[in-house]
């Protein structure tokens, strides 16, 4: 399998969502956390979403508690935090593992299809990002230090194709 469309994930409300729903979209997949030094990236992510959503761009947020236990809340508290503090309107999903034996199958696929620096497969920290082409294949992985605004050129380029 080369694309993300065969995967299904549970949204923050617990409903199963096939990623097929995002076919023909440029997708940015991000592992998030509410108590991280990178948490303010939620604002930049929401800004990107608002800027490009009408052109076929979507962000999918996946809370993760594997890095410094910086996402300890339940799904309801995570959703409320995102809404109150950052007015997040892009789709958020249930908390998942992105590394280890319990790593979600979507993340197992993403890590292989877009390895990190020097071919590293493991996700290093919260707010690692995967940009996906309209055909569902991985375009590029961005580390947590890369601001969402630094990806605008890549997003615009993919939206034109």
Q: What is the CATH number of the domain that holds 72?
A: 3.40.30.10
Residue numbers of the domain that contains 48: 8-159
> What angle do the packed helices 152-159 and 41-52 form, to 10 degrees?
20
How high is the pLDDT of residue 120? 79
Residue 3 lies in a domain: no
Q: Is the pLDDT of residue 66 over 70?
A: yes
Task: Tell me the CA distances in angstroms from 134 to 57, 112, 128, one per residue in order.
Answer: 9, 19, 20
Residue 38 lies in a domain: yes
User: What pTM did the predictor assign?
Assistant: 0.95
Respond yes or no: is residue 64 known to be catalytic.
no
Residue 58 lies in a domain: yes
Residue 126 lies in a domain: yes
* Count of domains for the chain: 1
d(CA 78, CA 86): 12
Say which residues have a Cβ less than 8 Å from residue 106's Cβ, sequence separation at least 6: 4, 7, 9, 19, 29, 96
How high is the pLDDT of residue 121? 84
- 148 contacts 129 by C-beta, under 8 angstroms: yes
Q: Is the pLDDT of residue 1 over 70?
A: no
Distance of CA 2 to the CA centre of its chain: 18
Residue 1 lies in a domain: no
Q: Express as a percent the part of the chain with pLDDT over 70.
A: 99
- 57 contacts 16 by C-beta, under 8 angstroms: no
Of 36, 82, 92, 123, catalytic: 36
d(CA 99, CA 137): 20
């Amino acid at each position: 399998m080369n694309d993300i469309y065969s995967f299904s994930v549970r949204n923050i409300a617990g409903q199963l969502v096939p990623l097929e729903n995002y076919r023909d979209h440029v997708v940015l997949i991000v592992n998030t956390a509410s108590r991280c030094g990178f948490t303010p990236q939620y604002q930049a992510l929401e800004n990107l979403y608002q800027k490009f959503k009408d052109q076929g761009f979507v962000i999918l947020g996946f809370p993760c508690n594997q890095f410094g236990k910086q996402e300890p809340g339940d799904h309801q508290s995570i959703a409320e935090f995102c809404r109150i503090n950052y007015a997040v309107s892009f789709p958020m999903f249930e908390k998942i593992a992105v590394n280890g034996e319990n790593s979600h199958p979507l993340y197992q696929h993403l890590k292989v299809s877009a390895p990190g620096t020097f071919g590293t497969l493991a996700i290093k920290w919260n707010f690692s990002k995967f940009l996906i082409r309209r055909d569902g294949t991985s375009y590029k992985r961005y580390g947590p230090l890369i601001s969402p605004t630094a990806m605008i050129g890549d997003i615009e380029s993919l939206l034109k194709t």
